[in-house]
Amino acid sequence: MKSSKDIKVQETFPEGFLWGGATAANQYEGAYNEDGKLPSVADVQPHGVFGYPDRSAKYYPTHKGIDFYHHYKEDIAEFGAMGFKVYRTSVAWSRIFPTGEEDQPNEKGLEFYDKMFKELKDNGMEIMITISHYEMPLHLADKYGGWKDRKMIEFFDKFVTVMAKRWKGIVKYWLTFNEIGNNIHKMEWMTAGIDPTTSTLQDNYQASHHQFVASSMAVKTIHEIDPDAKVGSVIEYKTIYPMSCDPKDSLVVTTEKQRGYFFSDVQIRGEYPGYAWEYFKDNDIEIEYTDEDMELIKNYPVDFLSFTYYRSRIASKDYLESVQKETNSSDKEVEGDTSYRGDDNILNTGKTNPYLELTPSGWSVDPDGLYLALEDLYGRYQVPIFIAENGLGVKEELIDGTVNDTYRMEFLRDHIISMKKAIRNGVDLFGYAWWGPIDIVSNGSGQMSKRYGFIYVDRNDAGEGTLKRYRKKSFYWYKKVIASNGEDL
Ligand code: BGP
């Protein structure tokens, strides 16, 4: 007879757990037109308006970022000093194929990443590359209407093939599309190069289909070139609570969850789920596909799932009615918070969760929601999971050359406790990336003043400042956490 007492449970973070940080090229590299790079969709998008290109704005934050392009050595040395085991970032497509249509890649663009990856390796980090993080050559959006057009699959595959060959054995983890589901959340310009003023749900789902095919093609290409590399998907995840115990509220939660699961279901399970066909029928959406597309999707699912997690939402049965009203309105910003996504407002029907605190930009702080997310996603898919983003963005000021950001340490501590609990329960979580370990441009607001970093960068919303970097208090705290593999909190 055996006893359950002898069973060894994974009590805490496994050895080799990948602690690190995440960024995206367009939000920090700057140098938007150097060494052959041409504009990307991000480079014509000014502040504060999710997804709307504006070619006559006075200032585009991505043009300068924090000038990582010229500071990568010192910044990576700082990540190394914190003890990062992994660094997630993206490669700017428009550096490698400036228009997207060239036959040959831009050698100068590739060289920048060669140098950067060498620094990362020398500083002891594994590299995780998001192939498409809210950035694609502007030319492809202008000429083809972005991912609405099937031709994008070829252009993307050319980009993937060049990278996989060049960085075989160097980049171990690849992520195909950042927050792939956001095509359908009014962010189609950033995610898919689709003009939001004329786009329809039909366009956006068709674009998603093309991205699914491209994602599976990337899995195939990368595995063939580098059998040791792993390819994952990135979904955005916000835990959703029913507003009340009315079963109708929970039904809404399920429907809304399916809008998110749809993307990971296809990328992990390799087929369109039944509820998606139903949804398409009900909403007059017709997806054009070939049998080869579906075979590719079936045969080349991703190796692991990653997700971004910042906050939770609440939903009620009244939501369905409000969603109809809201999807017809063009401006979905909430007053005073330019980074508030309209879609959240729809979901929580204008109400905030009374049990949770909010950040100054109105994002709920909900570490339990992270635990629930991990249980939910692992329960559904049973594949290894990586937390691709999590973080706290606030306005901050330097005092005596530092920022005493105890709130950031508390936020992170509570989220780590949730991760630990999930691991103990059997969730196969293999890494965690803090969003914006160095202050970078906020994606939603375009502002520098929404700071997530452990490292402060002297640059303001107008792009002024010395660019000097300063360690915040949380820098030392995260370093200690990593050194103790999540024990010293
Ligand atoms: C995620 C995006 C990131 C990042 C983050 C924080 O959805 O993948 O690019 O910016 O949100 O959002 P924000 O920068 O708007 O505060």
Q: What are φ and ψ of residue 93, in 5° steps?
A: -55, -40
Residue 68 CA to ligand 1 centre (angstroms): 18
Average pLDDT, the chain: 91
Which residue CA neighbors atom 16 of ligand 1 most closely?
442
- Concatenate the DSSP letters of all residues of 420-480 into one string: HHHHHTT--EEEEEEE-SB----TTT--SSSB--SEEE---TTS-S---EEE-HHHHHHHH
Instruction: Tell me the CA–centroid distance for residue 245 and ligand 1, in Å.
Output: 32
What count of residues does the chain have?
489
Would you state the pLDDT for residue 322?
Answer: 46
- Mean pLDDT, range 23-50, rounded to an integer: 91
Which atom of ligand 1 lies nearest, measured to the CA of 24?
A: 9
Position in ligand 1 atom list of the atom nearest CA 236: 7
Higher pLDDT, 129 or 199: 129
Interface pTM (ipTM) of the complex?
A: 0.98
Please tell me the predicted confidence (pLDDT) of residue 334: 32
β-bridge mates for residue 233, sequence order: 305
* Ligand 1 atom 5: residue of nearest CA: 443
Stretch 10-14: mean pLDDT: 89
- In order of their start, the domains of the chain are 11-483 (3.20.20.80)
Q: What does the block give as tokens for 179?
A: 């927050």
DSSP, collapsed to helix, strand or coil, labels residue 48 as coil
**What's the pLDDT tens digit per position in 329-368?**
333 333 333 333 334 444 444 567 889 998 887 788 999 9
- For the cut 80, the answer to whether the pLDDT of residue 191 exceeds it is yes
User: What spacing in Å lies between the alpha carbon of 153 and ligand 1's midpoint?
Assistant: 25
Q: What percent of the chain has pLDDT over 70?
A: 92
Q: Render pLDDT for 392-422 as a digit per residue (tens, 0 to 9).
A: 999 999 999 999 999 999 999 999 999 999 9
Q: Looking at the predicted structure, is the pLDDT value of residue 323 above 80?
A: no
| Tens digits of residue pLDDT in 283-322 | 999 999 999 999 999 999 999 999 999 999 888 887 554 4
Give me the active site residues, please.
179, 389
When pLDDT is averaged across residues 185-205 and rounded to a whole number, the result is: 89
347 within 8 A of 315, measured Cβ to Cβ: yes
Identify the residue whose C-alpha is closest to ligand 1 atom 10.
443
